Amino acid sequence: MRRDDMRLLPNFRERKEKILESITKQDFRKLSMKYTCMRERCETPKSEAHKKCYHDKGIRVCEEWKNDKLSFIEWAVENGYTEEVKIIDRIDNSKGYSPDNCQFVDDLKSLRNRVICRDEKEQDAVRILLDHGFSIAWVNKYIKTPMGKSEG
């Protein structure tokens, strides 16, 4: 946060100290990075995939979070962020990032949610693979390979 922005939030230091009573400095930095990445995906996408999946679809960060990083971090701490449950997930993928449309999930739930936008055949295949014990890494690789085609 820039110094000018801090003057707009006179209680910034107090709010940050209160957050740090609940989480470690390392977790605070991780949440700050999640916040930055979330905004970049929506506002200034660095990859064509992010541009197509977020920016071009009108996915945005709500004004409350956009204007106040600590508001996002406070929400995260109060709504399930832990080292194990650390992936921010939009409940409705057609809507933006906001307190009423986001949750924290683990890797497996995130992977299951990511395939929702794919065709039904692929959704079924991914669910079967996960249900039969294939690793998340293997299924992630499977998702990135076009259906019915082998790599190499």
Tens of pLDDT along 62-113? 999 999 999 999 999 999 888 777 888 898 888 999 999 999 887 777 766 6
Pairwise CA distance, residues 120 & 117, whole Å? 9
Nearest Cα to Cα of residue 19 among 74, 72, 80, 86: 74
Kindly state the helix (H) or strand (E) to which residue 88 belongs, with its residue range. Answer: strand 87-90
Query: By mean pLDDT, which of 18-27, 34-43, 139-148 is the weakest?
Result: 139-148
> 146: pLDDT confidence band, cut at 50, 70 and 90?
low
For residues 40-52, give the mean pLDDT: 84
Mean pLDDT of the chain: 79
Quick check: pTM over 0.85? no
Residue 87 confidence (pLDDT): 85
For residues 47-57, give the mean pLDDT: 83
Instruction: Using the predicted structure, report yes or no on whether residue 122 has a pLDDT greater than 70.
Output: no
Residue 21 confidence (pLDDT): 87
Listed in sequence order, the residues at least 6 apart from 59 whose beta carbon sits closer than 8 Å to its beta carbon are 41, 42, 53, 90, 95, 96, 97
Pairwise CA distance, residues 111 & 12, whole Å? 35
Residue 29 confidence (pLDDT): 93
> 128: pLDDT confidence band, cut at 50, 70 and 90?
confident
Residue 75 confidence (pLDDT): 95
